[in-house]
Amino acid sequence: MAKTIFVLNGPNLNLLGTREPEKYGHATLADVEALCRETAARYGLDVDCRQSNREGELIDFIHEAGAQKAAGIIINAGGYTHTSIALHDALTGVNLPAVEVHVTNVHARESFRHHSFIAKAAFASLAGFGIEGYRLAILGLAAKIGIAAKA
């Protein structure tokens, strides 16, 4: 069974902790990655955390996850969520279970953030839990693929 979850973060998520902390909080991307590693380890899973401000590079990461037959993908596509049919197509093309994550509640924000191309390619979407959404995404992914927490 595949043991690695790809955790992919899109544009501007490298600025977590300093970008609009009143919306996104003070946790950094390094904090997100540590949270993901800690949570995945409880299930005997590894994480491969990556961030890019470039759409094509995110697509390459998704293709790599597919080629490696990863256990699944957690993706916060940032602003590409609302614009990228190409990311949607990459996710559906690799046929891996995926969870969409957003730090803020995108549905309580500007109307252009209410539509997600990513959601249509994911089995679940989480928004508004802050960085805890990543932990919840890993828990949901583990349940989806039938892996229980280690004692």
Catalytic residue annotation: 24, 102
In 3D, which of 98, 94, 87, 92 has the Cα closest to residue 66?
94
Identify the burial level of 46 via C-beta atoms within 10 angstroms of its C-beta, where 0-12 means exposed, 13-18 middle and 19 or more buried: middle
Distances (CA, A) of 78 to 10, 111, 131: 5, 15, 13
In 3D, which of 134, 135, 70, 77 has the Cα closest to residue 96?
70
In 3D, which of 15, 87, 6 has the Cα closest to residue 54?
87
